[in-house]
């Protein structure tokens, strides 16, 4: 299937590893030029080199923390300055720390909302005028199944990501007339470094082995395993493509059947 992404320009945040890295690689493999953003300049540079080697794509790496209020505008200015356009934005910030709500100071709440919600608002706002000028745009935000089914230990992530889902749904109506689609992808359990650290935390708390906690977690998923980052990336690439042109305002669970109904 031709996704018609050749020549398009994409920005992917949180793109040095995990799902963000896989998403950037997926877009590049389909012919997009990709700007990747992450905090660690060294890891980001290595990711950029690997994506170029894998796909022969043109890659721009911009180190930065999405919590910085000035970063979004700088990303858009550098991207459009290099390529003259911006077609796709993938908001993919790393998740906030786990823990029950009484454990977190207000400063931690503010940090979570800034990194996982307001950062996406800022980048989207900076990018949309360029999409409007071309009458074509794709905005995809990676959230989590906890935005739909919150858990006490993931209250920060659930709250910030639910806000992002609501924001995405609201602006999808406003932007549809400009041929700009806005969707969220809600991954379930994905075997990334963050997932491994959360499993290790649970194992230590329960005084069990990592392997036992992993096996129990996978047993609770109907498909009986965690996703790979590429499996999430494939869905994002579809939503970012011409093939996904009639999907907007959706929050798509990509979780192996983890999100269930009551009956």
Q: Which domains occur in the chain, in start order?
A: 9-188+228-254 (3.40.50.720), 191-226 (no CATH)
- Give the length of the chain: 263
Tens-place pLDDT, residues 139-165: 999 999 999 889 898 999 999 999 999
Tens-place pLDDT, residues 20-40: 999 999 999 999 999 999 999
- Assess whether pLDDT exceeds 90 at residue 200: no
- Torsion sign (Cα): 70, 71, 74, 80: negative
- Assess whether pLDDT exceeds 90 at residue 205: no
pTM: 0.92
- Encoded tokens for 130: 């360029």
Average pLDDT for 192-219: 86
Bridge-based pairing state of the strands 180-187 and 59-63? unpaired
Tens-place pLDDT, residues 40-53: 999 999 999 999 99
Other C-beta atoms lying within 10 Å of the C-beta of residue 210: 13
Tens-place pLDDT, residues 52-71: 999 999 999 999 999 999 99
């Amino acid at each position: 299937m031709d996704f018609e992404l050749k020549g398009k320009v994409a920005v992917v945040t949180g793109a040095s590893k995990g799902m963000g890295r896989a998403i950037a690689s997926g877009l590049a493999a389909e012919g997009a030029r990709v700007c990747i953003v992450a905090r660690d300049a060294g890891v980001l540079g290595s990711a950029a080199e690997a994506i170029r080697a894998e796909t022969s794509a043109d890659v721009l790496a911009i180190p930065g923390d999405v919590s910085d209020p000035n970063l979004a505008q700088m990303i858009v200015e550098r991207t459009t300055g290099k390529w003259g356009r911006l077609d796709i934005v993938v908001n993919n910030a790393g998740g906030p720390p786990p823990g029950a709500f009484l454990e977190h100071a207000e400063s931690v709440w503010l940090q979570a909302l800034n990194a996982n919600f307001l950062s996406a608002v800022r980048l989207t706002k900076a990018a949309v005028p360029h999409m409007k000028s071309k009458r074509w745009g794709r905005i995809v935000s990676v959230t989590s199944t906890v935005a739909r089914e919150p858990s006490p230990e993931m209250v920060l992530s659930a709250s910030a990501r639910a806000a992002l889902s609501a924001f995405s749904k609201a602006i999808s109506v406003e932007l549809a007339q400009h041929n700009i689609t806005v969707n969220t992808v809600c991954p379930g359990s994905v075997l990334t470094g963050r997932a491994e650290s959360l499993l290790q935390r649970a194992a230590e708390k329960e005084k069990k082995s990592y392997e036992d906690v992993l096996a129990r977690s996978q047993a609770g998923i109907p498909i009986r395993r965690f996703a790979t980052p590429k499996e999430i990336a494939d869905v994002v690439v579809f939503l970012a493509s011409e093939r996904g042109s009639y999907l907007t305002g959706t929050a798509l669970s990509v979780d192996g059947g983890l999100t269930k109904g009551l009956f």
